[in-house]
A and B are shown apart, each in its own frame.
Chain A
Amino acid sequence: AQKVTQTQTSISVVEKTTVTMDCVYETRDSSYFLFWYKQTASGEIVFLIRQDSYKKENATVGHYSLNFQKPKSSIGLIITATQIEDSAVYFCAMREDNNNNAPRFGAGTKLSVKP
């Protein structure tokens, strides 16, 4: 069964610094997708970045990058040069590469970026 765990409930950083959010997952499948989503204060959930399990290179999109450590079943999200507007709840999700499985989400990490 799929399981996604985010142990950091909340993180507070000063703007323009780098923050890392942790996520570990459990799966029996050899092929899967990993995602990070952001939920803003308005409740909107938007897709940020994705890592496919077969890819060795860490994904990067803008100032978001991933630290994919497959042996540890870990997919950390790194945000560089944080901005006030990065304040949000960040969810990690996993979907096994199986048409019959829906993605499962972690509990989320609340990021506060302060001036």
Chain B
Amino acid sequence: NAGVIQTPRHKVTGKGQEATLWCEPISGHSAVFWYRQTIVQGLEFLTYFRNQAPIDDSGMPKERFSAQMPNQSHSTLKIQSTQPQDSAVYLCASSPYRDNYAEQFFGPGTRLTVL
């Protein structure tokens, strides 16, 4: 089992550019979560998909951020017009249905740096 795969591992963008982050959940896991981690804010929840449907996006900034899960094998997080404050490690996690999606398995994260 390859675990959760996130690509790229590192991304550097200029201010105002777009960034797309990819996540491939563990095969058979039907829930996908996105988090953002910074020194100041810690682990912030962004959004959650279950069976590809968006369930909770209460943590997503209202502007410039969007997430999709077009099929069960990948999810994307897109940030338009990136700003320096978007610099963070973006983590994707997946969960199996077992125990109502109780446990999460995290990917290695994508470190986004906005210059």
Which residues of chain A are near B108, meaning CB under 8 Å? 43-44
| Known contacts A43-B109, A102-B56, A108 near B42 by CB under 8 Å | yes
Do B55 and A100 touch (CB < 8 A)? yes
Do A45 and B106 touch (CB < 8 A)? yes
* B100 sits at the interface (CB 8 A): yes
The proximity string for A residues 17-41 relative to B, scoring 1 for CB distances below 8 Å and 0 otherwise, is 0000000000000000101010000
Interface size class of B (residues with CB under 8 A): 20 to 34
B interface residue numbers (CB < 8 A to A): 33, 35, 42-43, 45, 48, 50, 55-56, 59, 89, 91, 93, 99-106, 108-109
A interface residue numbers (CB < 8 A to B): 33, 35, 37, 43-47, 50, 52, 91, 95, 97, 99-108
User: Could you list 15 examples of A-B contacts with CB < 8 Å?
Assistant: A35-B103, A43-B89, A43-B109, A44-B108, A46-B106, A99-B55, A99-B100, A99-B101, A102-B48, A102-B59, A103-B33, A103-B45, A104-B45, A105-B35, A105-B43
